[in-house]
Chain A
Amino acid sequence: MARFIGRRLIYLLPVLLAVTLLTFLIASLLPGDLAVTILGDQATPEKVAALRAQMGLDLPLWQRYLLWLWDVLHGDLGRSFRTGETVLAAVSDRLPVSLELMVLAEVTALLIAIPLAILCAVKNGSATDRFLTGLAFGKLSLPPFMVAILLIYLFAVSLNLLPATGWVPLAEDPIANIRSFVLPALTLAIAEWPVLMRVLRSDMIATLQEDYIAMAKAKGLRPSRILLVHALKPSSLTLVTVTGINIGRLIGGTVIVESIFALPGIGRLLVGAIYARDFIILQGAVLFVAVGFVVVNFIVDMLYAVLDPRIRHGRA
């Protein structure tokens, strides 16, 4: 196990390095001069030149990258030239909101997907199964922002049950906090469950044909016990990986959902930075999200190896 983790760690470092390089290069795609963008069109050439020198914009690209990377490694991701807030403060302020949203969304998605997958697997090939797999397939064509619109129309505009926008801190009023998360989390969960259900369903169908399931049936165990205890755990390996892989899409989803429902998370920070053309914050937020994504995928790989010994030994 230690050797496996070591091997994956050696692989992780170059990927992380490449991600920082790519983030840096994206930022250098900006046409024109960052100093001019910061100071405005009216700035005198002397002022622009001074800021360029101060920010090190005169240096060649590779030197700028190394200097930037050095700062990043020391926790200095720069500060917004609009609000003066440091990137690190901006990100850490908003991170809890995004994490709460993602956890709630993933849990809700699993709560929808697991029972439906079990139902489909048990009634494999029946009308219910065909209806649900068809629904899941159709749902793949309905992106989160459309789901959000439908939910807002249904629960906020027509029924007036839940707030469409706004956010209350958890410490201030836990009930209001959860209420402000219901629609956003549900939006993401509706986007996620079809993939989870399809994966678990096909694994579960395979598991139910194993001999030990027939054995358990022959022993006269209750069907619920066979399904939930004997069949669910060995069927959930792919589910774990897919849940991890989906985090990339979930992050993309939170960007949209946070913007729609005005939740002050990382996604809204990112989109807000684009609207305000606040490129330092944008670069910092992108770097943070990308690195977080790589690390989460790494952890999922580890988790998968713990669950399935075949992967540790390089046979799968």
Chain B
Amino acid sequence: MAVRDGAAFDVGVDTSAVAPVRRRRVGGLFIASLIWIALVALGAIFADLLPIPSPTDMDMLGKRALPSAEHWLGNDVLGRDVFSRLIYGGRISLTVGLLAPVLGVTIGGALGLLAGYFRGRLETFITGGVDVLLAFPPLVFALAVTAYLGQSIANITLVIGVLGIPAFTRVARAVTLSLSEREFVTAARALGATHSRIILRELLPNVALPLVAFFLLGVAVTIVVEGALSFLGLGVPPPAPSWGSMIGEGRESLDIAPWLAFLPALFMFLTVLAFNVVGDTLRALTDPRPGAL
């Protein structure tokens, strides 16, 4: 079953023989990842205050213009400033990328805790529901639901968030199952602690750390899914700049201006990689399986 965990959120949940080697060597990469995430986040937060042109203003004379003092990375097919669109695109990627896993980790984490603690019928019911959600190929599910609900940032966040629930449920349940057998839980129970106290005060703090690590991997996956939807023109509606839609638009001029597709692709790759590195490092540190430590 271990391999199945995170099938929807598959970012390579494989620790076994790799982890110890990587952890010792990860230092520089880990720091670089944090710096990159901080840069993109700062850009996204303060985009309106930065001295950059508007991301949606079109300069019809400057289509695909090369970099200049005014437009640092040149213009796109419609004469819009590429650098500015990259910064604002980070805002969308991070908004969706952070909010959707929050939804997943909250609902999925709660369900997993309850299933792992109370067991019995509740557990059967929850794992059954999770299995049904996993029975849908995630991208097809996301495409279909946004097609019916309508394209908007809120809907996309909601859909990707719901898709993340099964993975978080499974992680939370697996960790809770192993913790429930431990002495401190038995001790709390012997002292007459209520169920809610045991769950909130004893179990939750211990389940939280693995969930946070998994949350970061979830951010990476979410950014990719949002990018894929926007790339197909089925995600964030234009003219809002999204890295995915920028890659999709840049694809049309691969022969004359390949950088229009490669720049947003590079930004997205680095951001996703950074979240994967940070998440994977934390996961290796918090993995409950003894072999991983």
Contacts and interface: CB of A to CB of B under 8 A. Distances in A.
Interface of A: 14-15, 18-19, 22, 26-27, 29-31, 124-125, 130, 133, 136-138, 140-146, 149-150, 152-153, 157, 194-195, 198-199, 201-202, 205-206, 238, 241-242, 245-246, 248-249, 251-253, 255-256, 259-260, 270-271, 274-275, 277, 279, 282, 286, 289-290, 293-294, 297
Contacts of B247: 145-146, 149
A130 B21 contact: yes
Interface of B: 3-4, 7-8, 10-12, 14, 16-18, 21-22, 25, 128, 131-141, 143-145, 147-150, 220, 224, 227-228, 231-234, 244, 247, 250-251, 254-255, 258, 261-262, 265, 268-269, 272-273, 276, 280
Contacts of B262: 149, 153
Nearest to B250: A149
B269 A19 contact: no
- Interface residue SS majority, chain A: helix
Contact of B135 (A142, A146, A206, A293): A293
A125 B224 contact: no
Contacts of A152: 251, 254
Contacts of A249: 10, 137-139
Contacts, number: 159
Given A31-B149, A270-B140, A198 B269 contact: no
Contacts of B11: 140
Which residue among B135, B150, B258, B273 has the maximum number of chain A CB atoms within 10 Å of its CB?
B135
B97 to A, nearest CB: 13
A198 B12 contact: yes
Nearest to B256: A157
B4 A274 contact: no
Contact of B140 (A137, A153, A252): A252
B137 A30 contact: no
Which residue among A138, A141, A157 has the maximum number of chain B CB atoms within 10 Å of its CB?
A141
A274 B234 contact: yes
A149 B254 contact: yes
Nearest to B140: A289
B132 A271 contact: no
A15 B140 contact: no
Given A26-B144, A198-B12, A289-B140, A141 B272 contact: yes
23 contacts: A22-B132, A22-B136, A125-B21, A130-B21, A136-B12, A140-B276, A141-B273, A144-B228, A146-B268, A150-B265, A202-B18, A246-B10, A248-B138, A251-B140, A253-B139, A255-B143, A256-B232, A270-B143, A282-B147, A286-B140, A290-B137, A293-B135, A293-B137
Q: Which 10 A-B pairs have the closest CB atoms?
A: A252-B139, A141-B273, A202-B16, A141-B272, A251-B137, A18-B132, A29-B148, A274-B147, A248-B137, A143-B224
